[in-house]
């Protein structure tokens, strides 16, 4: 903990606060101002939709971060609650005419319950076997439930694709219609999710999760009901996944099981590996980095299209290649992720120029 000289606290609450100096408050408010006003005003639709993709990745990876980074339960099937939440939200709007906000909550709860259902084996199994369970969640949910049962419920379309009229996404009088609206909605959701998760991690529940991650036997001996807290982690992570799915719906206005492949699950794990496992900012850095690198690759390939037309045709493979390469390079050179490096840079600046 590093504070400017002369800063001291009179109460434990002040010592426990996130933003402990006026400067940090100013910085954070400035960031919020930039995110909510400067960017939507001056940035064009292309880059806004890019940021929407980043935001969706952040929201989706938040649950993965909670499970892998904070509770130590490795999940390779997080796309399942995301997809299930999106479908629950879409179907309740489509079939039951539920307003968007209520459908949003339904989607979150449904995704949370699905996640708990497949988390139940964690009472008995650990490690690899639990990973298998989460993979089972991925394949059972997306490839069977969504494709075969929930998708055709709408009675239209093909392969379980659901389209929803953009006008239906309204929060009170505000209709989430344009890219800019989706962007604003994304920022609001990201802030809420970040605040909620950061709060959880500094109170009793988050501590119990981290205790399970670090040393489950000691945690149990000290009175943590491990089974309950693991299921709670699955529920909250699933609900966060559902939230991401419900957001994705507003951004695209259609939803298909194809958006929630096993590859997307792995992608989310890659995001937190690169961003930093067990760090509150890890999934933000990771989402920015991975989505950004793909953008860069795209822009690098466009001028090459005339020379190597194959590069454009096979972009999908190149995308996977870049993802794999990024993970390998990070595991070799930066195993603790971007957030750790950023922390080191900050420490260096704090102590500069007398680092001893």
Partner 1 sequence: MALEWKREELRVEKEIGEPILVVEDVMKAFGGVQALNGVSFEVRKGEILSLIGPNGAGKSVVLNCINGLPGYRPDSGRIIFEGRDITKWPPHKRAQVGISRTFQKIELFGGMTVLDNAKLGRHIKMKTGWWDGGIYWLKASKEEAKHRKWIEEKVFETCEIEIYRHRTAGMLPYGVQKRIELARALAMGPTFLLLDEPMAGLNLEEVEDMTRFILDANEEKEWQCTILLVEHDMGVVMDISDRVVVFDWGEKIADGVPEEVQNNPRVIRAYLGEVEETYITRR
Torsion sign over Cα 304, 307, 312, 314: negative
Q: How far is the CB of 290 from partner 1 (least distance, A)?
A: 24
Give 183 or 209: the residue with its C-beta nearer to partner 1: 209
Q: Return the number of the residue (155 or 223) whose C-beta is nearest partner 1.
A: 223
Farthest-apart Cα atoms in the chain, separation: 69
What CA–CA distance (Å, rounded) separates 43 from 55? 15
Shortest Å distance, C-beta 16 to partner 1: 6
Q: Which helix (H) or strand (E) holds 180?
A: helix 179-201
79, 264 Cβ separation under 8 angstroms: yes
Is 336 among the residues that bind partner 1 (CB under 8 A)? no
How far apart CA 91 and CA 109 sit, in angstroms, is 14
Beta-strand runs (E) in 209-275:
254-255
- Residue 30 CA to chain centroid, in angstroms? 23
- Phi, psi angle pair for 279, to nearest 5°: -125, 140
Of 8, 53, 328, 341, the closest CA to residue 179 belongs to 53
Distance of closest approach, residue 1 Cβ to partner 1, in angstroms: 5
Closest CB to partner 1 among residues 148, 215: 215
The residue written with tokens 């505000």 in the block is 174
Query: Token match 């989505």: residue?
Result: 291
Paired tokens of 21: 């100096």
Taking CB under 8 A as the rule, which mask of x and - marks residues 262-301 in contact with partner 1? Answer: ----------------x-----------------------
CB closer to partner 1, 14 vs 38: 14
Residue 69-108 contact track with partner 1, rule CB under 8 A, x = bound = ----------------------------------------
Cross-strand bridge partners of residue 174: 171
Which one, 168 or 212, has the nearer CB to partner 1?
Answer: 212
Question: What are the strands, taking DSSP E only, across the chain?
Answer: 162-163, 170-171, 174-175, 254-255
Does position 67 bind partner 1 by CB under 8 A? Answer: no
Least distance between partner 1 and beta carbon 229 (Å): 9
Residue 11 beta carbon to partner 1: minimum distance, rounded to whole angstroms: 7
Letters for 210-249 (x = contact with partner 1 by CB under 8 A, - = none) are: xx-xxx-xxxxxxxxxx-----x---x-------------
Is residue 331 close enough to count as binding partner 1 by CB under 8 A?
no
User: 180, 207, 319, 336: which one contacts partner 1 (CB under 8 A)?
Assistant: 207
Given 130, 150, 190, 208, the residue binding partner 1 (CB under 8 A): 208
Footprint of partner 1 on 2-21 (CB under 8 A): 11-13, 16
Residue located via tokens 């067990």: 278
Q: Does 206 bind partner 1 (CB under 8 A)?
A: yes
Residue 194 binds partner 1 (CB under 8 A): no
Start-to-end CA distance of the chain, whole Å, equals: 16
CB 337 within 8 Å of CB 275: yes
The site for partner 1 (CB under 8 A) is made up of 1, 11-13, 16, 196-197, 199-200, 202-208, 210-211, 213-215, 217-226, 232, 236, 278
């Amino acid at each position: 903990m590093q504070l400017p000289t002369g800063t001291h606290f009179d109460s434990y609450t002040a010592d426990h606060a996130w933003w402990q100096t006026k400067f940090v408050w100013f910085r954070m408010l400035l960031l919020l101002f930039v995110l909510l006003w400067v960017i939507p005003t001056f940035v064009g639709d292309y880059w806004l939709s890019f940021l929407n993709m980043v935001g969706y990745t952040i929201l989706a990876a938040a649950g993965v971060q909670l499970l892998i980074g904070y509770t130590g339960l490795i999940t390779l099937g997080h796309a399942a609650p995301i997809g299930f939440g999106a479908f629950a939200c879409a179907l309740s709007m489509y079939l039951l005419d539920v307003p968007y906000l209520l459908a949003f909550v339904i989607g979150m709860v449904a995704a949370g319950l699905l996640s708990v259902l497949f988390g139940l084996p964690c009472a008995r199994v650990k490690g690899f076997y639990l990973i298998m369970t989460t993979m089972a969640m991925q394949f059972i949910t997306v490839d069977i439930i969504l494709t075969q049962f929930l998708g055709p419920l709408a009675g239209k379309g093909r392969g379980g694709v659901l389209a929803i009229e953009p006008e239906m996404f309204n929060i009170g009088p505000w209709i989430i219609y344009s890219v800019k609206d989706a962007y604003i909605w994304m920022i609001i959701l990201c802030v809420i999710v970040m605040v909620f998760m950061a709060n959880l991690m500094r109170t009793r529940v988050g501590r119990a999760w981290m205790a399970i991650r670090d040393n489950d036997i000691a945690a149990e001996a000290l009175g943590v009901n491990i089974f309950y807290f693991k299921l709670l982690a699955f529920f909250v992570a699933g609900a966060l996944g559902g939230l991401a799915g419900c957001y994705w719906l507003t951004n695209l206005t259609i939803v298909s099981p194809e958006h929630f492949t096993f590859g997307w699950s792995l992608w989310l794990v890659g995001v937190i590996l690169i961003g930093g496992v067990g760090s509150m900012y890890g999934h933000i850095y990771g989402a920015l980095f991975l989505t950004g690198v793909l953008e860069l690759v795209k822009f690098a390939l466009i001028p090459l299209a005339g020379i190597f037309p194959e590069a454009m045709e096979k972009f999908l493979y190149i995308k996977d290649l870049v993802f794999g390469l990024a993970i390998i390079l990070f595991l070799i050179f930066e195993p603790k992720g971007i957030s750790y490096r950023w922390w080191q840079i900050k420490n260096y600046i704090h102590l500069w120029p007398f680092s001893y």
